[in-house]
Structures are given as C-alpha cells and as structure tokens.
Structure 1
C-alpha cells in the first residue's frame, strides 16, 4: 500500500535523524482495558525522551484525546515525560488530537510547524508521515520500539483499515480536523 512507502522517512535510531525545532508524540491510552500498562504508550514516551536527550528537538508536542475528565492522553504524556527528566516548559499539549490526521494537520496549522519529527511505532509513523508530507510538512518519523505480534494483533488489523481511510481522507476527501482553533506559538 502506498502509505507503507513512507517508511523511507522513518528512522530507528536517533543518530539517523536530523535535528528539528519540534517533535510530536502521537497519543494512545496509558493503560489497557484490563488495567495493564500499554506498551505502545510506554515505548513512545521512552522514544520521545531519547529524542530530546539527543538534542534532536527543542520542543515536544504531545497530541492526543481528552474526551472525558478521566481520560486525557496529553496530560498523561506530559506528566510521564516530566518524570523522565524532560523540562515542563519544553512540552506543549495538543488536546484536540483525536485522530492521527487531526494531530498532524494541527501540528502545522495551529502550532505553525512546517518540519518536524513524529514519534510513534513505525506502522503508525508511516501513516503520519504520509499525511504530513501531503500537507506540506517536512515530517520524518522516529520509530518507538514495537510490541510483539501477539500483543499487537488487534492493533495491526485496525491499522489496515486506518491506512485505507487515511488515503481516502488525504487523496479523495481532503478531510479537515474536527477542531482547529487559535494558533499557538511554541
């Protein structure tokens, strides 16, 4: 699928990736429904810390869902990044990143970024970079460690559908984010 060809813009080690002003970490739930730690989440946070510590970005936007008072991906990500040594003033929360498409378009239109690094697992980064590059963002991906196939099977199946909708959103429908709002200078 054409989205997978964008893997050429994703990297597994920080040494391979050029420094930029800002990175964006794509949200996911901190805990699984059974209460266990979500390895996708944990690995994205660790990758973002690694990126920052390697001086590959000056700012980190944490973008995710916060539909209810008890569920707030950006707040969780910011808190965990701070616990791991990233200064609070470096981290910017995007509370309207309900979908990957929303997060990436908001990265440019709300936060004014025309280049950056997206942090997620490679299968997700391929899609995010596809969206970003079609929207005029020089976006590269930093691949967080993946989870084993058994634990990630449901996500892999869902990703096939997400890629199809991604292509339709970008190439056919020119889908816009659900929420935009005022520009935020970072």
Structure 2
C-alpha cells in the first residue's frame, strides 16, 4: 500500500477516512435516535399485552447465561402484571437445536403458565422475529426483552416492522461476551439499516398463527 506523499494527497486521504468513519456510524446514530424515547425499565414499562423475548443461544439443553437473564426479566414482567403473554422467538433450524422450546421450559420453571407462552420457531434474526411477530402472530404492540446493547436495535426494527415497541434492556456483567456483543452491534446496525430500507421477507414466513390471540383471550 502506497501512502500519499504530497500534503494535498495526505489531506484527502484523512478526509476519506473520516468520511468512512462517519458513514459507518450513521446506522448506530439512527438506532439511537429511533429508540431513545422507547426504552423503559421493568419498573416503569407500561402494561402491555405481549412481551417478545429474543433468543440468545443455548448451552446444551439449557439457555445460555445471557438468554437466562432475558427470560428472568420476562418472567418478572409477567408476575408483576406488566405483560400477559410471552412470545419467545428463536432458532429451531435443526432438530437438535431448539431455542423456543428451551425458553418455554425455563419460563414454566419460573412459574409462567404454559398457556401464556407462545413459540416462534423461525426467529432466525432480529428482523425476522419482528416481522413475524407482526405478520404471523398479529402483534401490534409489545415489550421487547433483550440485553441493553441489543435492545435499541430490536426496538428500531420492530417499529419498522409495524410493532409499537417498548424496550427493556437487561443489564449484564461487563465480561468478554458483553464487550463482544457491544462491538458487534456497530456492524449489526448496518444490516439493520439495510433491513429497514429494503424490508426483506423473513427467511421463513408461513401462515398466520392464532397463538398470541388465544393466549390473550385466555388471560382475559
């Protein structure tokens, strides 16, 4: 790689690098702006019919520590009467990996009735989960439960998908995984912006499902 030798060339190179940095950060700025007035805590989130809990990996047949903390927060929202139904969305792309059923089992152990839990087996990424929540499960308003570094992106994408959203961010220890997740969000923000602009269909859409409506009716 040859660096510019003239001052003019060096100045232009610096300007080009600065422009690239600004462009790279624009999607993150968009996420921050869109979600800034939609974030709540478990104590002040308004009562809402549905909470959407996003998958975050498994360890064998158990939720990963990050996923377990999301589920703990969702169970708390349910038991405190903030939400009535939990929509658990995750990856079940192969037979030996089933996030939604693992999430359901964990929640029932936390005292959430099975009839108040609805599973989305094709929540392969955040955009897919948001679109499917709206188009397949008929959710038009929800509390979104995820780690604090991810919840802004979840809110922005669900808003774009037609789901009026409140984000409850789960605080976590600042360990290697947390720093990795935070850094990853800079790149994920770019994909989120593209999803919002081009609005691709989910990897799997399928027919509408009445599970959320039935669970809400049962709750009523």
**What TM-score do you get using the length of structure 2 for normalisation?**
0.78
**What TM-score do you get using the length of structure 1 for normalisation?**
0.91
**Displacement of 1:174 after TM fit?**
1.7
What's 1:84 paired with?
110
What is the RMSD of the two structures over their aligned residues, measured on CA atoms? 1.8
SS class of match (2:43): helix
Residues 35-90 of structure 1 show CA distances to partners (whole Å, capped at 9, x for unaligned) of 99732112101101111011111110100001221111101100000011000010
Say which structure is richer in helix: 2
Q: Where does structure 2 lack aligned partners over 5 or more consecutive residues?
A: 1-28, 213-220
Alignment: residue pair count: 182
Residues 69-117 of structure 1 show CA distances to partners (whole Å, capped at 9, x for unaligned) of 1111101100000011000010010000000000011111000011111
**Partners of 1:30 and 1:11 in 2: how far apart?**
27
Moved over 6 A (4+): none
What's 1:9 paired with?
38
Residues 135-150 of structure 1 mapped to structure 2, 5 A cutoff = 135-150=161-176
- Asked if 2 retains the 8 angstrom alpha-carbon contact of 1:10 and 1:122, the reply is no
**Partners of 2:170 and 2:178 in 1: how far apart?**
14
Q: Where does structure 1 lack aligned partners over 5 or more consecutive residues?
A: none
Q: Please identify the structure whose Cα radius of gyration is greater.
A: 2
- Asked if 2 retains the 8 angstrom alpha-carbon contact of 1:47 and 1:143, the reply is no
The higher-RCO structure (CA 8 Å, 6+ apart) is: 1
